Amino acid sequence: MSDTRSSPPVTTPRSPDEDGPANTGARWPLPEETFWSEATDPHGVAPGERTEPQGDVAQSPAKAEAPAEGRQEQPEPQPKPEPGKRKRDPFLDNVKFVLIALVVVGHSLVPTLSADSSRALYIFIYVFHMPLFVLISGYLSRNFWNSNAKTNKLVDTFLVPYVIVEVGYAALRFSLGQKWSLTIIDPAWLNWYLLALLFWRLSTPVWKRMKYPVPVAIAIYLFAGFSQIEGDFSMDRFFGLMPFFVIGLVMQPEHFEMLNRRWIKIVSVFTILGAAAVAIYIAPMAKLGPFYYKNSFQDLNQSWYMGLGLRAGLLVCALAMCFAVLALVPRGETWYSDLGTRTLYCYLLHGIPVLIAKEMGWLELPWLHGPLGVLAIASSCFALAIVLCLPETRTIFKWVLEPRLVWLYRRPSRS
């Protein structure tokens, strides 16, 4: 009979479906969450689970069986330490804050697009900022359906905020002198992302069952240009940005780690600079329609072969920019890492001051139509993004944008 004190700890086998990013063996496990993140840290491990071995928790067999000379009593068992909690990795939070700041800048530049400098920055931003947001959302959806709490988010943080924001923006436009307009099925302005992400999340089990999900998603993306897909339920952008979500869905932490190599960072710098130069060059003549990832070939007045070529080229450029940004964003803790955990509030609330500024004509002042104006708009929007990502902002608007609808769901069975 073996001594129980010397028995090695027993580990229970896990099914492949239980292996999330935290179990891949990568050096920095990435978090599983929604695209905005919550202050209640969803990256923590389950109670009793530890992220790394704890010292002095269990004695090795050799130490346990060693005779204790001169001692009549066994030593008192040491109390078990509290389960460790996985520290939140700041990398994706850094990326999300950079992206949400670009979202605010892009929306604020619209009234000044007659200026080449503003148009160039607008094109540069729109090539990659929403594709990268969608890619990250896809990555964070890998184990979405493995959790009841995350499934509840389909209502808590998608449908309910969507309806509230739709009504809120309709009321704001009406108060600014516009005609009352409320169509729930046709999302207003920036609200399209909530519906598109909802449907991407619903399609996740289908993509995870496929052998070749990325080629299939790219094919759907390319051939969607033949149809004039309406914007109802965000279906136009659902298909237009689909490859980025699926690519994120199949990515592993080690793929992000590959981007941390020095030579890739150097290439990424030249990629960003090259993209900026191209944006400046094409700004006076380029149409903006293709950069919204939703218009059909007919809407863009293109032949089918030109449309396919443009969509394929835009996909390649967007992915190159996405990976370049991922390579260059700091991986360690920064002053804005915490701000990146509350990007939902910035995304849904920044439209209020931006819409007011547009309707009041504040963004159409002549001096804003130039490089100095672009710098002023970008700086102001960066400051606005910081304010809207503060914990105080979340405290004020949490009841609207993150409602706790516990009463709506059945309790999971104890069995």
Q: First-to-last CA distance in the chain?
A: 33
Give the pLDDT confidence score for residue 16 in this predicted structure: 40
pLDDT in tens, the chain (415 residues): 444 444 444 444 444 444 433 333 333 434 334 444 433 333 333 333 333 333 343 444 444 444 444 455 555 556 555 545 556 779 999 999 999 999 999 999 999 999 999 999 999 999 999 999 999 999 988 887 766 666 667 777 778 888 888 899 889 989 988 888 888 888 878 889 999 999 999 999 999 999 999 999 999 999 999 998 888 889 999 999 999 999 999 999 999 999 999 999 999 999 999 999 999 999 999 999 999 999 999 999 999 999 999 999 999 999 999 999 999 999 999 999 999 999 999 999 999 999 999 989 899 889 999 999 999 999 999 999 999 999 999 999 988 888 777 666 666 655 5
Indicate the pTM of the whole model. Answer: 0.78
Three-class DSSP labels, 5-32: HHCCCCCCCCCHHHCCHHHCCCCCCCCC
The label of the residue with tokens 């046709």 reads 186
Distance CA 58, CA 228 (A): 64
Give the pLDDT confidence score for residue 38 in this predicted structure: 38
User: Do 158 and 191 contact (CB within 8 A), yes or no?
Assistant: no
Nearest C-alpha neighbor of 22 from the set 208, 132, 146: 146
Nearest C-alpha neighbor of 33 from the set 132, 153, 135, 128: 153
DSSP string, 25-45: --SSPPP---SS--SS-TTSP
Residue 288, C-beta contacts closer than 8 angstroms, at least 6 positions apart: 113, 122, 123, 126
Distance CA 231, CA 188 (A): 10
Give the pLDDT confidence score for residue 191 in this predicted structure: 87
In angstroms, what CA-CA distances link 79 with 73, 352, 354?
18, 54, 56
Distance CA 134, CA 248 (A): 8
In this structure, what token pair is assigned to residue 181?
């307009």
Three-class DSSP labels, 149-185: HHHHHHHHHHHHHHHHHHHHHHHHHHHCCCCCCCCCC
The label of the residue with tokens 């309707």 reads 359
Distance CA 327, CA 97 (A): 15
Give the pLDDT confidence score for residue 67 in this predicted structure: 45
Give the pLDDT confidence score for residue 182 in this predicted structure: 83
**Cα dihedral 326, 330, 336, 337 in deg (nearest 10):** 80
In angstroms, what CA-CA distances link 278 with 125, 285, 319?
12, 12, 16
C-alpha R_g of the chain = 25
CA atoms within 13 Å, Cβ hemisphere of 381:
28
